[in-house]
Amino acid sequence: MAEPAPAYLLDVRNVSKRFGGLTAVRNVSLQVPAGTVYGLIGPNGAGKTTVFNLLTGVYAPTDGQILFDGTPIHGRRPHQIARYGITRTFQNIRLFSDMTVLENVMTAHHLRTAQNIFDAIVGTGRSHREEREMRERAMHLLSIFGLAGLADEPATSLPYGSQRRLEIARALATRPRLLLLDEPAAGMNPQEAVGLMDTIRWIRDEFSLTVLLVEHNMKVVMGICETIQVIDHGESIATGTPAEIQSNPRVIEAYLGAC
Amino acid sequence: MPVGRKLFFITLAIVALAVLDQLFERGFGDLRINPYYARIVSLAGINITLAVSLTLINGLAGQFSIGHAGFMAVGGYAGTYLTVYHGAAIASFLGGTPLEGPGSVLVMIASLAVAACAAGLAGLVVGIPSLRLRGDYLAIVTLGFGEIIRVIILNIPAVGGATGFTAALPITSFFWIFGVALLTIVVVRNIATSTFGRALGAIRTDEIAAEAMGIQTTRYKVAAFVISSALAGMAGALWGQLFANPLNPQNLNFVKSIEVIIMIVLGGLGSITGAVLGATTLTVLPEALRTFDQQFPGLRMVLYALLLILLMIYRPQGIMGRRELSFAWLRRSTRDDGPAAPAAGAGKDAADG
């Protein structure tokens, strides 16, 4: 904790979030080293998605600090946090429903464009050049996720598993350094979940990412996370390697006790 | 498009507008357009500007404004005021009067510029507080704004108050009406097909996801709203300075705003082609139905309402849906788009799981 800030890419210090009388997150700290896959687990309603919403600026923490690469980001707006290099996917898929697959990814490229609205109105060379680049980069991302052939299909016409992969492709288009995945394996069959694990590992290496994921599928979590942190009733109860977590009595109690 | 081709098209448009202007305003020898028809065409042109500009905010950004007439009034009164009180001085820079000579061109440009700036500024003042929030606040605020503007104008004697701005000079002509309509179509189309158009589309479908992808939602909504308002202001300046059509607060009330909304919904919300079609239809239709008035007085508006109801029953997505008329569309026009898919993210909260 007393280390200089860049020791961790993401450094969450004693963050709490209260909604009126309800404390959704209490005094949670989270240290994610760069380049790792970090898992956040816990029973339903433990506060995992609230942590995500705090990290991405949807909520501002009531107490505590969030440092990203040494820069305080708590209380920033979501679009500012995306600019710092944190993007997410959503537990309930939030694709842009009346756009095509390609347009969804191109929309996320918008963050990294240099043109202003007058370039677009006048139709300057810069806007045409950037439009071409955006299309090429978006097609490249789609081909990584095996979606290039569906580029012009409406995003909502894809099967569920493909929609999840498209959401990851869209998130990568903002060129993040930290990718937050909110239950990426939800609704996937076992084969798709195994494929997802390979994809997450591969994009982590290919895009030099750090990945923080919330997931209920224990096979996925234990399979790809280097470190796992367990949250229950808004409080952090354990942090460790998959093996340590599996044998931790407090974790077992939280899961089995909650049943 | 290379600069050379762009200049070519601009020149072509100006020449075509000048020829049509001559035809509609004065005629070529014996070839003259019936002034009544010419009038309807002029009104259709102004309505096209209004409808296409409203498409930017209501159709593309998905923010529901119902105060377009208010911005039209701000622009109309500002532009007309400039012509009436300073027109002669402005015209004298280039020679002539506000109605004749090279000075008249300068007066029209100045009048349109002032109208656009005044209405754009009003759009900024209304937009900043109301567009920071998600939801229907814009509808409420713009509704109130339209009424406030109307009441303010009623109480300014310099612009005619309740009698209307009868001192206005009839400087509007076919050239300027359709020049502004073309400008509006090009501006809105270029925004729609750019990365900003996609950003507005993202805001329309899911604001939370749009923000998470780094889109500055408030800023883009305000920018779209200001541009939309400025274009409506130019339409107001054209309308107020049309021959024998003085600005009157009674004609720029809530009903006019709703009329523009009907145009874009009828044409297909979000489609520029649809806005043009809707504006044309709703200008021509009430006039075309006048033939019934001689035999059955009053039947005209009944038929008008009936036609609108039938269209909304049998084609609820409007004439065009979200499609645009383009060469690509004509080629694959056999493909059906069906009714618009419901927005997946609408109403969902960033709930805990």
Q: How far is A223 from chain B (nearest CA, A)?
A: 22
Cβ atoms of A56 and A66 closer than 8 Å = no
Is B209 within 8 Å of A156 when comparing Cβ atoms? Answer: no
Q: Please give the DSSP secondary-structure letter assigned to residue B100.
A: B
Buried b (16+ CB within 10 A) or exposed e, B84-113: beebeebbeeeebebeeeebbebbbebbbb
Comparing CB atoms, the residue among A93, A107, A131 nearest residue B213 is A107
User: What single-letter amino acid sits at B296?
Assistant: F
- In angstroms, the first-to-last Cα distance of chain B is 49
How high is the ipTM of this complex? 0.88
Q: Positive or negative CA dihedral for A74, B213, B58, B128?
A: positive
CA-nearest residue to A53 within chain B is B350
Q: Taking the CB of residue B50, how many other CB atoms lie within 10 A of it?
A: 31
What's chain B's Rg over C-alpha atoms? 21
Task: List the single best residue of A19, A49, A51, A94 to mutate versus B (max B Cβ within 10 A).
Answer: A94
Strand pairing category for A63-68 and A71-72: antiparallel
Tokens of B65: 């404004």
For residues B88 and B97, the answer to whether their CB atoms sit within 8 Å is: yes
Strand partners, B100: B97
- Rounded Cα distance, A29 and A12, in Å: 5
% of chain A at pLDDT higher than 90: 57
Burial class (CB in 10 A: 0-12, 13-18, 19+), B154: middle
The answer, yes or no, to whether residue A4 has pLDDT greater than 80, is no
Best of B198, B213, B228, B231 to disrupt the A interface (most A CBs within 10 Å) is B213
How far apart (Å, rounded) are the C-alpha atoms in residues A246 and B2? 64
A20 has pLDDT over 80: yes
Indicate the residue of B206, B217, B341 with minimum beta-carbon distance to A94: B206
Nearest by CB to B198, which of A79, A103, A123? A103
Q: How far is A32 from chain B (nearest CA, A)?
A: 20
For A13, list phi and psi in degrees, rounded to 5: -115, 110
Could you identify the residue written with the tokens 């992969």? A165
At A5, the pLDDT band (50, 70, 90 cuts) reads: very low
Residues of A in contact with B223 (CB under 8 A): 117
Q: Which residues of A touch B351 (CB under 8 A)?
A: 49
The pLDDT tens digits along chain B (353 residues) read 678 888 999 999 999 999 999 898 888 888 888 889 999 999 999 999 999 999 999 999 999 999 999 999 999 999 999 999 998 888 888 888 888 878 889 999 999 999 999 999 999 999 999 888 777 888 999 999 999 999 999 999 988 888 889 888 999 999 999 999 999 999 999 999 999 999 999 999 999 999 999 999 999 999 999 999 999 999 999 999 998 777 888 888 889 999 999 999 999 999 999 999 999 999 998 888 887 777 887 787 888 888 888 888 888 888 888 888 776 666 665 544 444 433 333 333 333 33
**Confidence at residue B98, expressed as pLDDT on a 0 to 100 scale:** 84
- E strands, B114-190, are none
Of A58, A106, A111, the CB nearest to B214: A111
Nearest CA to A235 out of A42, A10, A34 is that of A42
Cβ contact (<8 Å) for A121 and B190? Answer: yes
Instruction: List for chain A the helix, strand, coil content (%; round to 5).
Output: 45, 25, 30
- For residue B209, CA distances in Å to A20, A56, A87, B64 come to 25, 11, 10, 20
Q: How confident is the model at residue A68 (pLDDT cuts 50, 70, 90)?
A: very high
Smallest CA–CA distance, residue B243 to chain A, in Å, is: 32
B298 φ/ψ angles, rounded to the nearest 5 degrees: 95, -15
Interface test with A, best of B1, B60, B194 (most A CBs within 10 A): B194
Tell if the CB–CB gap between B205 and A96 is shorter than 8 Å.
yes
d(CA A92, CA A53): 13
Judge whether B182 and B13 are in contact, CB under 8 Å: yes
Is residue A173 a contact partner of residue A141, using CB atoms and an 8 Å limit? yes
Backbone CA torsion sign across A162, A163, A166, A171: negative
Residue A209 and residue A37 in contact, taking contact as beta carbons nearer than 8 Å: no
B-chain CB neighbours of A107 within 8 Å are: 195, 198-199, 201-202, 210, 213, 215
> How many CA within 13 A on the CB side of residue B82?
24
Best of A117, A137, A177, A217 to mutate (most B CBs within 10 Å, chain B): A117
Q: Give the containing element (helix H, strand E) for B96.
A: none
Average pLDDT, chain A: 89
Residue in the block written with tokens 């509007």: B172
Distance from B220 to chain A by nearest Cα, in Å?
A: 9
Closest CA to B322 of A154, A111, A134, A131: A154
Of A82, A110, A131, the CB nearest to B199: A110
Contact at CB, A98 and B215, closer than 8 angstroms? no
- CA dist B102 and B105 (Å) reads 6
Q: Which of A92, A98, A123 sits opposite B1 (nearest CB)?
A: A123
Of B199, B209, B214, the CB nearest to A94: B209
Q: Which pLDDT value is given to residue B327?
A: 66
Report the sign of the C-alpha dihedral through residues B102, B105, B110, B113, in that order. negative
Phi-psi domain of A35 (left: phi exceeds 0; alpha: psi -120 through 50; beta: other): left
Sequence spans of domains, chain A: 1-85+176-259, 95-175
Nearest CB to A120; choose among B191, B201, B205: B191
Superfamily of domain A1-85+176-259: P-loop containing nucleotide triphosphate hydrolases (3.40.50.300)
Whether B196 has its CB under 8 Å from any CB of chain A: the answer is: yes
Residues in chain A within 8 Å Cβ distance of B57: none
Contacts of A59 in chain B (CB under 8 A): 350
DSSP letters spanning A49-67: HHHHHHHTTSS--SEEEEE
pLDDT in tens, A190-208: 888 888 899 899 999 999 9
Six-digit token string for A79: 């679009």
Distance from CA of A2 to the nearest CA of B (A): 31
What residue segments make up the domains of chain B, in order of their start?
A: 34-251
Query: Of B196, B213, B342, which has the smallest distance from its Cβ to A170's Cβ?
Result: B213
Backbone angles phi, psi at A72, to 5 degrees: -70, 130
**A65 neighbors A72 (Cβ within 8 angstroms):** yes
CA B335 → CA B319, B329, B330, B338, distances in Å? 16, 9, 10, 9
The per-residue pLDDT for B330 is 62
Half-sphere exposure of B352 (CA within 13 A, CB side): 20
Give kind and range of the element (H or E) at residue B109.
Answer: helix B102-131
Sign of CA dihedral A42, A44, A50, A56: positive
Query: Position of tokens 């009003």?
Result: B122
- Order of strands across the sheet that contains A22-32: A22-32, A10-19, A63-68, A71-72
Token couple for B244: 């024998």
Nearest residue in B to A124, CA atom: B1
Supply the pLDDT for residue A189: 84
CB contact under 8 A, B206 and A122: no
Q: Does B32 touch chain A (CB under 8 A)?
A: no
Q: Residue B202's closest chain A neighbor by CA?
A: A96
Q: What is the pLDDT of residue B343?
A: 38
More confident residue, A83 or B344: A83
Chain A residue numbers with beta carbons less than 8 Å from the beta carbon of B352 are: 24, 45, 47-50, 53
Closest CA of chain A from B59, distance in Å: 13
User: Angle, nearest 10°, between helix axes B68-94 and B35-54?
Assistant: 120
Search chain A and give the residue with CA nearest B200. Answer: A107
* Count of helix runs (H) and strand runs (E) in chain A: 10, 10
Contact B213 A90 (CB under 8 A): no
Strand-pair category, A22-32 with A10-19? antiparallel
> Is the separation of the CB atoms in A236 and A51 below 8 Å?
no
* Average pLDDT of the segment spanning A71-91: 92
> Could you tell me the two tokens for A147?
């979606």
Q: Which residues pair with A25 in a beta bridge?
A: A17
